[in-house]
A = this chain, B = another copy of it.
Amino acid sequence: MELAPFLTARRQALRQELDRRKLAGAVITDPNHFFYLTGLLPNPNFPSLLVLNDVRAIAVVPQYGVDTSALPAASDPLTVTAYPNLTLADLSRFVDEYAERERAFLTAIHELGLAGRPVGVDALYFPVGLAKAAGFAPEHLHDVGAFLYHQRVIKDAWEQEQLAFAARLNDTGFAAAQAILRPGISDYEAFSAAWRAMAEHLGGAFDLHGEFSGGPAITGQGGCAPVGYTLQAGDLLIADIYPVIRGYQADTTRTFVVGEPAPWQKEWHAVLEEALARGEEAIRPGLPAAELDRIVRGHVERHMPAGGSMFHHAGHGIGIAVGKGAHYPPFIVPHSPDILQEGMVLTLEPGLYVPGKGGMRLEDNYVVTANGCRPLDTFPKTLVVCA
């Protein structure tokens, strides 16, 4: 699949919005929007930005830290201006990256004829210092961040493919964790084994973000990174992993048991499997997210073990995560205002937790299709037995 036509379509959608609002162009600084509109992976240490008018666009990127070698040749021209950003990149003079970036930004503004004209910006990112440098008064600046955010909630075919790839990579991590987990193995070892298998499969290093929390202390509270717990026979371990792969974040969870599962562990997990299956069955355009929450959460709550709870959302949208990331609409919660639409990509994640006894979660990723959904995960949805 070629990215270029999708990039053109995304930029044309933004241009239509600018046109509708009589804006001469746009300046985009949110890394997520930047990546969406350019296909260039931004570098968190050296800001990139996009300047765009009705016919062309200029990406202002650091000379060092952004790979522009494979820039797709879209039919609406996008050119790149690389600003010097590291003293190590040019030893013949001293490089002030802040001044260089501002200079490149102002040049792009003037080249595209946007100086002193009304433009769209992502107002929760565009900094007052750049606005001032370019001579944009507050009345020149109109927020298009919300527009882009909502545009990005519906994934085009290229984005669906990226998310499918990220989800399949998570499956690789689960398989590696299953292969290594046995009594005496620590959560760190399982986590690093998953990382290594995923890096080998991906062909490159990445940050493995997620929970690998095991043992009777499982709470299911978010952000439970591994802590050095050594697994014992009979322990549960929740592995909820959500690395950012080529800019996209899938979010998948499996629960592992070390040794043969106890009957109560099998019963609990069967509840989650059935909740997930009912949710998957229900997904279709037009379904209110709140209703999807009732379907998934309702099943878990009707079969909740004594003292247990499912305190969290039943799922959420996923997508680009090169800046602020993690969760997008649709939010699968009781009072969600969201309605499922074709092209949304979301997780479902039924969970149940009994303080002092243990916790479980099962999470998969789905594309909302015209008639239902397409699951993105292939790893078995059963309790993962590590013997």
Contact = CB atoms under 8 A, between A and B. Distances in A.
A91 interface: yes
Contacts of A87: 313, 316, 327, 331, 333, 336
A151 interface: no
Interface in A281-338: 311-313, 316, 323-327, 331, 333-337
Interface stretch (A18-26, A127-135, A165-173): A127-135
Interface in A133-157: 137-138, 141, 143, 145
A151 B45 CA distance: 19
A313 B223 contact: no
A36 B131 CA distance: 26
Interface residues of A, number: 67
Given A45-B325, A87-B336, A225-B204, A129 B124 contact: yes
A132 B126 contact: no
A203 interface: yes
A263 interface: no
A227 B204 CA distance: 5
A158 interface: no
A333 B94 contact: yes
A261 to B, nearest CB: 26
Contacts of A342: none
Contacts of A191: 199, 205
Interface of A: 44-47, 64-65, 86-88, 91-94, 98, 121, 123-132, 137-138, 141, 143, 145, 186, 188-189, 191-193, 195-196, 199-200, 203-205, 207, 209, 212, 222-223, 225-228, 311-313, 316, 323-327, 331, 333-337
Q: Which 7 A/B pairs are nearest by Cβ-Cβ distance? A: A123-B129, A205-B225, A88-B312, A192-B192, A88-B313, A94-B335, A87-B333
